[in-house]
């Protein structure tokens, strides 16, 4: 079959906790970022930007998550705190896809958010095409003001997706997908 269709028909997410090295090299990462930026964008507003975390910065991200967890949890649990510190510890590259609010007279925020979602999906596809596993997550950290500030996000910015990229030891198993019969209707005109 067509290789693009093969890729799209077989794409699966890994679990972030299973993603380890190797990850994309600098050229491959640039390709992933470039493909991420090549999405439909009504009005060409570029209502998104990317924050990349890799290498030694991953350790600092773990510290940020621990500190934010301590502040957010009424009674922080040591094991959970440890897990937050290690959440991305083995992931080679994490890309925070940031949705930016670009005030516009004609183009609503909703469409700008949709465009940021398309960025996340494009990155997943690019990662798979390069032979890597990836997952799009959010979780509490995407909504925690302390984490967002540490990553340099402004008040008008949100995390659309946390894209973790690397390699998994095990092949990814398929999961059930919705039956088209349950989600597709063919509209045949308004009824009287």
Ligand X SMILES: Cc1cc2nc3c(=O)[nH]c(=O)nc-3n(C[C@H](O)[C@H](O)[C@H](O)COP(=O)(O)O)c2cc1C
Residues that bind ligand X (CB under 6 A): 12-13, 135-139, 161, 175
DSSP state of 20: B
Identity of the residue, 171 or 190, whose beta carbon is nearer to ligand X in the bound complex: 171
Residues 61 and 84 sit within 8 Å (Cβ to Cβ): no
Rg, Å, the chain Cα set? 19
Q: How far is the CB of 73 from ligand X (least distance, A)?
A: 18
In whole angstroms, the minimum distance from the beta carbon of 121 to ligand X comes to: 8
Angle of helix 3-10 versus helix 109-129 axis, rounded to 10: 110
Nearest distance from residue 68's CB to ligand X, in Å? 15
* Secondary structure (3-state) at 110: helix
Between residues 29 and 87, which has the closer beta carbon with respect to ligand X?
87
Which one, 28 or 164, has the nearer CB to ligand X?
A: 164
Asked whether the beta carbons of 16 and 137 are under 8 A apart, the reply is: yes
Q: How far is the CB of 118 from ligand X (least distance, A)?
A: 11
- CB-wise, 75 or 174, nearer to ligand X? 174
């Amino acid at each position: 079959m067509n290789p693009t269709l093969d890729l799209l028909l077989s794409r699966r997410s890994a679990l972030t906790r299973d993603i380890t090295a190797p990850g994309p090299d600098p050229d491959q990462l640039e390709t992933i970022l470039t493909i991420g930026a090549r999405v439909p964008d009504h009005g060409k507003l570029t209502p998104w930007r990317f924050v990349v975390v890799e290498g030694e910065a991953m350790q600092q991200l773990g510290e940020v998550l621990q500190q934010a967890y301590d502040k957010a949890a009424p009674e922080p649990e040591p094991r959970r705190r440890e897990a937050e510190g290690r959440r991305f510890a083995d992931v080679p590259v994490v890309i925070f896809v940031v949705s930016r609010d670009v005030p516009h007279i004609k183009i609503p925020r909703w469409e700008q958010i949709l465009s940021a979602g398309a960025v996340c999906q494009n990155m997943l596809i690019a990662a798979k095409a390069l032979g890597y596993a990836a997952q799009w997550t959010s979780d509490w950290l995407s909504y925690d003001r302390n984490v967002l500030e540490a990553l340099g996000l402004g008040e008008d910015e949100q995390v659309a997706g946390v894209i973790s990229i690397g390699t998994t030891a095990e092949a990814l198993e398929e999961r059930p997908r919705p039956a088209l019969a349950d989600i597709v209707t063919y509209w045949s005109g308004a009824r009287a």
